[in-house]
Amino acid sequence: MDFYLPSRNLETWRTSGGPLRVWMAGAPGVWVSPGGGEVQLTATAQALREQGLEVHLLSTPSEATRWADVQRPNVLHLFGSHPTHWQWIRLARQVGAAVVLSPIGWFSLASYWQGGKHWPTKLLHSGKFLLRAVCPWLPSWRGRLYRSVDMLLPNSLAEARQLNRYFGAPPGRIHVVPNGADPRFAQARAELFVQKTGLQGFVFCPGRLEPRKNQLGLLRAMRGCRAPIVLMGDPVPGQEAYAEMCRREAGPNVHFLPRLPYDDPLLASAYAACGCLALASWFETPGLAALEAAMQGASLVLPDVLSCREYFGDWALYVRPYDLRAIRRAVEKALQMGRNPRLAQHVLGHYTWAHTAEATRGAYARAMDFCLFHPGDDRLGEKQIPAGTCRQEEEPIYQIAEATPASPGWPFPKEPLHHP
């Protein structure tokens, strides 16, 4: 498969103008209820710094404006899909920076249904998704946002195809960057968690308490199970009632633990002590928890979505969140399977933050090479591409094409996605 080779790569940039300077930012209030997206932001930043890039984490466009007066960035990297990103993009255009976006999204009927708290909202969200599935050309803030950045960085080819299918994102401006995990998770030992909690061989479900994560479904599926169950995480603001429902559903074998910081040794020890990881979520991109548990070779029960299958192939058990009997059977089987050293080796060899940073650097090079805007141009998504200046609209999605024993097409199917 032919890939685009940027004419101005990062090594050339470093030797000619010093280290590449990157601004990173998330959605407003990103640290109020931190989750996987925030870990992805900070861990990617640290890994890029270790590879020689100059990375600054910024909170608001006003803070960035003060930085721009001193040191202008080469790339603005946004995380998450949020309408307020327009302020960042306008600022980036004014200072002549390329813009890349990690959408961190999953678009399906189930995800839109779970996006609402009440029936009218659920029906409205689901109706909008069905309409978009039929008429993807309809205008939306997401579509305009995705078409206005220089490069989109989804975590899987499945997510990449959704960006193209539902929002018209040009395939040539999509560069798949896999998620990662810290290698320290592979080195963790169970003793610390066992000493602190007295628990071992338990069903582990880390993550924020919210309907999307479907902890309530997992608890109902495992009702009467003798194995300990550990739910680790805090309620999402506004989802306190859901957390209380989970507590009422829980039996005496269920243990609720607060969220632990990403670098807390107790979190890594929990993966080493668990009997299996069980994520019965309505959707994952996939989640960082699965990669962290897989570094320990733990048995995995994951949502049956394409993005998870791309990462783990046949080395995981897959369930649908509404099938409680199947969830129970999968968890019980996972508890009996034990550890898989080949899975741990596979993830450690392909899904560390160093791998993520390397792929991200490639995306930055393409974004700078493909940059559609000139400094001061504030027309978002409206500038026409001069004929012959670049080939990004015609290029296939950039993807990792190395096969491993996980599955024949791992990590991403090799056929390119072209414009219809």
- Categorise residue 297: left if φ over 0, alpha if ψ from -120 to 50, beta otherwise: left
Residues of the chain with pLDDT under 70: 1-18, 29-35, 62, 64-70, 108-119, 122, 125-127, 129-134, 137, 372-420
**Residue 261: how many other CB atoms lie within 10 Å:** 10
Q: Are 94 and 103 in contact (CB under 8 A)?
A: no
Which residues in 160-197 are b (16+ Cβ under 10 Å) and which e? bbbbbebbbbbbbbbbbbbbbbbeebbebebebbbeeb
Distance CA 43, CA 177 (A): 14
Nearest to 219 by CA among 246, 237, 195: 246
Q: If you count DSSP H runs as helices and E runs as strands, how many of each does the chain have, helices first?
A: 18, 11
Residue-wise pLDDT for 102-124, tens only, equals 998 777 666 666 665 666 776 77
pTM of the shown model: 0.82
Token output for 183: 């290698």
Residue-wise pLDDT for 199-247, tens only, equals 999 999 999 999 989 999 999 999 999 999 999 999 988 889 999 999 9
Distance CA 79, CA 85 (A): 9
Q: Is 204 helix (H, G, I), strand (E, B) or coil?
A: strand
Domain architecture of the chain: domains with CATH:
10-178+352-370 (3.40.50.2000), 184-350 (3.40.50.2000)
Nearest to 92 by CA among 385, 372, 359: 372
pLDDT at 116: 59
Distance CA 241, CA 377 (A): 47
The residues near 169 (Cβ < 8 Å, ≥ 6 apart) are 143, 146, 147, 152, 163
